[in-house]
Amino acid sequence: DAKTTQPPSMDCAEGRAANLPCNHSTISGNEYVYWYRQIHSQGPQYIIHGLKNNETNEMASLIITEDRKSSTLILPHATLRDTAVYYCIVRPGGAGYALNFGKGTSLLVTP
């Protein structure tokens, strides 16, 4: 699996955009970029995923560089409830593949 590198922590003011970076320079052509988050000790929550195009859903946007070696998760208007650990995971999209969680980025949204 491609290895990912994320900053251990970030802060963001409430209402501002939170931009969480991830480096995955060894990503293979069949590997997707997934983002999950874990609020306190709850079960991880899926946010978004992409292969090479930028993606947007109701929670976030995912920007993947053209060479696919890095990506950025954007929470457009962060709220206090977005305080969580955010995980960038690179895995093939096929059936049965497990998610390999790293240490992620601990995002603190402040009032």
Partner 1 sequence: EPEVTQTPSHQVTQMGQEVILRCVPISNHLYFYWYRQILGQKVEFLVSFYNNEISEKSEIFDDQFSVERPDGSNFTLKIRSTKLEDSAMYFCASRRDTAYNEQFFGPGTRLTVL
The contact set with partner 1 (CB under 8 A) reads 32, 34, 38, 41-46, 49, 87, 93-104
Report in angstroms how near the CB of residue 67 gets to partner 1 at its nearest.
22
When the beta carbons of 42 and 53 are compared against partner 1, the nearer one is 42
Report in angstroms how near the CB of residue 93 gets to partner 1 at its nearest.
5
DSSP string for residues in the chain: ----B--SEEEEETTS-EEEEEE-TT--TTEEEEEEEE-TTSPPEEEEEESSS-EE-SS-EEEE-TTSSEEEEEETT--GGG-EEEEEEEEE-STTPPP-----EEEEEE-
When the beta carbons of 39 and 80 are compared against partner 1, the nearer one is 39
Report in angstroms how near the CB of residue 70 gets to partner 1 at its nearest.
20
Phi, then psi, of 24 in degrees rounded to 5: -145, 65
Give the pair of three-digit tokens for residue 88: 């960038």
When the beta carbons of 22 and 34 are compared against partner 1, the nearer one is 34
When the beta carbons of 25 and 97 are compared against partner 1, the nearer one is 97
Report in angstroms how near the CB of residue 33 gets to partner 1 at its nearest.
11
